[in-house]
Amino acid sequence: MKAGRRRAAEASPQIAVSDERGVRYLHFGTVWVQGAMRLRRPWDIELDYLRHMMAWQLFVESAGEILQIGLGAASLAKYAWRRLPKARVVVVEIDPAVLAVARQQFGLPPEDDRLEIVIGDGGEYVGHPGNRGRFRVIQVDAYDAAADGPVLGGHDFYAACRRALGEPGVLVVNLFGMHASLDTHLAELEAVFDGRVKLLPPVDAGNVIALAFTGPPQELPWPALYERATAIEASQPLRATGWVNALRDRSRDGAGGLVV
C-alpha cells in the first residue's frame, strides 16, 4: 500500500548535537530543534510538545504496545521505557544515523524485551498486515531537516494507523500549526477516524498535538478525567491537569464530559 506523503529518501542529514544551559539539542543540519534532553534529567521529557504527546494516558491504560514512528532524540521512547513498566515500546526510525546518535548522545538504552528498534519506513511498517490491531497507542513524530510539516500523512497512512490500533486505541500526531499542511492533516484525520479527533492547544514553538480515537465512542465525565490526571501527576513529571483544562476549554461536547 502507499505509505502516504513522504519526501523522497535522501542521504542522512547532517546531524548535529549542541549543548546550551544544561540542555542537549539534536539538529538535522539546520537551526530547527529535532529533539532535546536536559542533562541532569535525561529520562524526563524536555520539550513541551513531546509532553503533550503523552496525553493519551488520559484515555487508555499504558499496558500494551506503543508504536513510536520517528525516534529523534529518543525522548518518548526513553520515557515510556522508564516510566511505564507495563508498556512495550516499538520504535520505527528510517535513518540508522539518527539511531546511532540517540544511543551515543541521548542515552537510548539497549534493546530488551520492552524496547524494540526497527530501521525502516514508518508508513510501510504500520501498514503491514501482521500489525493489524496490535498497538494500544501509535505516536507519530516524523519530521525531516526542513521541519516544515510532517513527512508522513495522507488518507492511506492514517487509515493504516487506524487498522494497526486495537480498541480502544489512540493515535497521537505531532502537527505544525504554523504550516499550511495543518488543515490538510486534520481533514484527513477527521475523515479516517469518523470525526473522533481532539486537539491540544499549540505550544510556543507552534506544534499542535492531535489525538484520534478507536473503539466504541464514549463520554468521559470531566471529574473522571481530572481524577485520572491527578493520578498521572502523582507518579510522573507531567502537567496532566493542564491537558484536561485545555480539552475542556476547546470542547464543543456536552457540559458533562468529553466525547471521544
Q: Catalytic site residues? A: 141
209 touches 49 (CB < 8 A): yes
Write phi, then psi, for 192 (nearest 5 degrees): -75, -35
The CA distance from 120 to 69, in Å, is 10
Question: Mapping DSSP to helix (H, G, I), strand (E, B) and coil, where does residue 116 land?
Answer: strand
Query: Edge-to-edge strand order for the sheet containing 33-38?
Result: 15-20, 23-28, 33-38
Rounded alpha-carbon distances, angstroms, from residue 48 to 22, 44, 163, 210, 248: 17, 11, 29, 14, 19
Our measurement of the distance from residue 12's CA atom to the centroid of its chain's CA atoms, rounded to an integer in Å, reads: 22
The CA distance from 161 to 127, in Å, is 7
The CA distance from 171 to 20, in Å, is 33
Q: Left if phi > 0, otherwise alpha if psi is -120 to 50, otherwise beta: which for 102?
A: alpha
192 secondary structure, DSSP code? H
